[in-house]
């Protein structure tokens, strides 16, 4: 497998809902969201696909 599959709309909304809940619970804002590869990279783009899919729902 090469690359990452795009999330479905249902998946993106579900993940965004979880992220919004965590941001609220920990009193954080969207500026605290970071992609996995910026923190502990294994493969380029591994978290950016998810972030790109959810950012409009946050």
Q: Is the pLDDT of residue 8 over 80?
A: yes
Give residue 2's pLDDT.
Answer: 64
Alpha-helical runs (H) found in the chain: 9-25, 36-40, 48-54
DSSP state of 43: S
Give residue 19's pLDDT.
Answer: 95
Alpha-carbon distance values, 2 to 23, 26, 29, 49, 54 (Å)? 31, 35, 33, 13, 22
CA distance 12 to 47: 13
**What would the pLDDT profile of 10-58 be if each residue is shown by its tens digit?**
999 999 999 999 999 999 999 988 887 778 767 776 788 889 999 999 9
3-state DSSP assignment of residue 19: helix
Give residue 9's pLDDT.
Answer: 95
Provide the pLDDT confidence category of residue 1 given band limits of 50, 70 and 90.
low
Give residue 35's pLDDT.
Answer: 82
């Amino acid at each position: 497998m090469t690359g990452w599959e795009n999330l479905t709309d249902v998946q993106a909304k579900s993940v965004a809902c979880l992220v919004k809940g965590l941001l609220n619970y920990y009193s954080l804002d969207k500026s605290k969201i970071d992609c996995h590869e910026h923190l502990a990279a294994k493969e380029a783009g591994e978290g950016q696909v998810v972030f790109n899919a959810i950012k409009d729902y946050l």
